[in-house]
């Protein structure tokens, strides 16, 4: 079995948090001890003098996680920019060692850890590290989240090609928020040898900002074989 999975997207706004949360909740429903992690978050809100990531609130709530926010999300930045730019704007330096330390603690504590990246694979974390580098160092395979919009075929195929060029293992693609996108899914499948793990339709009762997940977990468990994500290829 894998020790965890790294959820990335073909772009921002494709629903990585929703899919990462659904994966974690589905694994928990299998009776496993699962943890969640968003190593770096930008666009954090200041609440009672403390920065809080809405993504992290959602990820923790969907599995009733009691892990400390600083463990789940060691780097939080207020500007809604790429992490290196957000840190520069905020006048701070990202301490990446906090991420590695938190990740080790989570993997020691839980059977399986679902890690959500930020943006896509080529988003810079700092001056030396991209999201792809983070996934590589963690040794995790990717679940790539795609969404139907103009340009998404190109973005999806480019993400797959870049992941392969970096020797990242790819579990497959999950298509999120689909609205009559069957042709789109078929085109991706035609040009790629990567497994399609499943497709989730657009759901009005799911909102990360309001921390509402509706029936996403039940739908996810019906449509997607979570064992394909947990199983480690030999």
Catalytic pick among 16, 38, 60, 171: 38
Q: How far is CA 35 from CA 4, 65, 85, 113, in A?
A: 9, 7, 28, 5
Hey, which residues does 159 pair with through a beta bridge?
A: none
| Tokens describing residue 227 | 């064992």
Contact between 141 and 168 (Cβ < 8 Å): yes
| Tokens describing residue 47 | 């609440």
Residues with Cβ < 8 Å from 132, sequence gap 6 or more? 121, 122, 162, 163, 166, 168
What is the H or E stretch that residue 40 is in?
strand 40-41
Contact between 78 and 86 (Cβ < 8 Å): yes
β pairing state of 112-116 and 4-9: parallel
Told to judge if 109 belongs to the known catalytic residues of this protein, a careful annotator would answer no
Helix boundaries (H) for the chain: 16-29, 54-63, 69-72, 83-90, 97-109, 131-138, 152-165, 182-191, 216-223, 227-230
- Residues with a known catalytic role: 38
């Amino acid at each position: 079995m894998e020790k965890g999975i790294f959820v990335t997207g073909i772009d921002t706004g494709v629903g990585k948090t929703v899919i990462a949360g659904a994966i974690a909740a589905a694994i928990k429903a299998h009776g496993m001890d699962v943890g969640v992690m968003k190593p770096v978050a930008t666009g954090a809100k200041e609440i009672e003098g403390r920065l809080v990531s809405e993504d992290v609130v959602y990820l923790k709530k969907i599995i009733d996680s009691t892990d400390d926010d600083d463990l789940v999300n060691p780097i939080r930045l207020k500007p809604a920019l790429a992490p290196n730019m957000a840190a520069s704007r905020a006048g701070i330096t990202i301490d990446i060692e906090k991420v590695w330390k938190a990740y080790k603690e989570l993997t020691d504590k839980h059977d399986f850890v679902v890690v959500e990246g930020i943006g896509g694979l080529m988003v810079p974390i700092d001056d030396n590290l991209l999201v792809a580098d983070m996934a590589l160092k963690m040794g995790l395979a990717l679940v790539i989240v795609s969404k139907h919009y103009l340009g998404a075929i190109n973005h999806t195929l480019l993400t797959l090609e870049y992941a392969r060029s970096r020797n990242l293992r790819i579990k497959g693609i999950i298509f999120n928020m689909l609205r009559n996108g069957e042709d789109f899914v078929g085109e991706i499948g035609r040009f790629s040898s990567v497994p399609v793990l499943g497709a989730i339709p657009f759901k009005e009762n799911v909102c990360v900002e309001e921390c509402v997940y509706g029936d996403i977990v039940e739908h996810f468990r019906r449509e997607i074989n979570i064992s394909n994500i947990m199983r480690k290829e030999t």
